[in-house]
Structure 1
């Protein structure tokens, strides 16, 4: 498994190395919220994004693979351990694909990176939504609110709802942001993100208040 993770994180480096000789001396190093380049640097900066994202991916993988050692809420017999391992792999895949797209966009400044970036994040939301109903109380993933952490029932009900919202909301983001143009993808992405975050929080608080009336 470790070799597979390493391979996924090295693919963007291999691609950057392959296209490096044909790159212009100045390439985009940062993209604004609309996906347009707003900062430039030497072509050697093509390796910056893969380096940062690979480091983040490795850190997330190591953390999630060992959460049982750090989180007192996760028992050794808990199914959370296996679920977090699967999530860590999914996040590494996400980091690898994101890194590849950034390298590709840096080599092709005319491409509309938002056409890929927002749908990719939407699919990541959708993936995490599939796992939410299966995740038990913990301090690292999910809606870690005072009332959800105190009540296993509140946690379960909140994440059953959040799982559906994140799965279908993420799919909607992926589809709509790919086909919309102009400022449309930004509005849709931010709007759906707000909905899938705010509704579970409000729902969990409502459960908490109803139990304490």
Structure 2
């Protein structure tokens, strides 16, 4: 079992999510809760609030942290070690992002006009900055990284692809933080989160194919 400093930091962030949920559970007025919007089995879209939804983020955070912590016990110790610092920073960054999401949802429950997407966009930008800064240090593994047929076929292609993708994620994170402060519209920020996260990854996939084909033609 991997009980590193990152595990304890992530656990503290998860405990923060639990504390926020517990505080909101007792402090929200009767009938208040997290806004929910879902398509029911009757084919009708339902809108409302749910007090139980306060516990969704802590549960998700706990599941993510537990699965990453216990991964080495399922024959992945070597893979986790090759992922190195990327493993640790991803664990912390994801737990931190989910804590921000939890606080934002509680803010929305307290104030219907609260803009959830701005803090979420900024926190996602910080996550991309952190992961992008360390991604190039990950060695070839099956646990964390851009696992394409080309990166898995050649360690050199893996290293160059992840350095390239890491720079893209870092720039995407910076862009997303700026946009999070500059814009208020939820749709714009939602699209920005998707674009700043997906584009560097897609470009990394294309880069890995290009590097491998170039290697084959030498």
Q: 2:195 aligns with which of 188, 191, 195?
A: 191
Q: Which runs of 4 or more aligned residues in structure 1 lie more than 6 Å from their structure 2 counterparts after TM superposition?
A: none
Asked if the contact 1:80/1:135 (under 8 Å) is kept, the reply is: yes
Contact 1:12 1:103 in 2 (8 A): no
Alignment of 1:208 with 2:215, yes or no, is no
Tell me how far apart the structure 1 counterparts of residues 156 and 162 of structure 2 sit (CA, whole Å): 10
1:93-117 per-residue CA deviation (whole Å, 9 max, x = no partner) reads 3333332322332332220101111
Match of 1:22 in 2: 28
Q: Which residue of 2 aligns with 1:13?
A: 18
Name the counterpart of 2:166: 163
1:41 aligns with 2:49: yes
Question: What are the residue-to-residue correspondences of 1:1-213 with 2, within 5 Å?
Answer: 1=5, 4-19=9-24, 20-30=26-36, 39-43=47-51, 45-63=52-70, 66=72, 69-70=75-76, 74=79, 80-182=83-185, 183-213=187-217
**C-alpha separation between the residues in 1 aligned to 2:205 and 2:73?**
24
Q: What secondary structure sits across from 2:136 in the alignment?
A: helix
Q: Take 2:196 and 2:89, find their aligned partners in 1: how far apart are those partners? A: 25
TM-score by length of 1: 0.80
Structure 1 residue 127 displacement after superposition: 0.9
Q: Could you tell me the TM-score, scaled by structure 2's length?
A: 0.78
Once the two structures are TM-superposed, the CA of residue 83 in structure 1 deviates from its matched residue by: 4.4
Structure 2 segments unaligned to the other structure (5+ residues):
39-45
Structure 1 residues without counterparts, runs of 5 or longer? 33-37
Where 1:26 maps in the other structure, the secondary structure is: coil
* Structure 1 residues 119 and 207: alpha-carbon distance in aligned structure 2, compared to 1, 3 A threshold: same
Q: How many residues are treated as equivalent by the alignment?
A: 203
Taking only aligned residues, the RMSD between alpha carbons, in angstroms, comes to 2.8
Q: Cα gap change, 1:21/1:160 in structure 2, threshold over 3 Å: closer, same or farther?
A: closer
Question: Residues 6, 201 of structure 1: CA spacing in aligned structure 2 closer, same or farther, 3 A cutoff?
Answer: closer
Deviation at 1:133, TM superposition (A): 0.7
Q: Partners of 1:82 and 1:127 in 2: how far apart?
A: 10
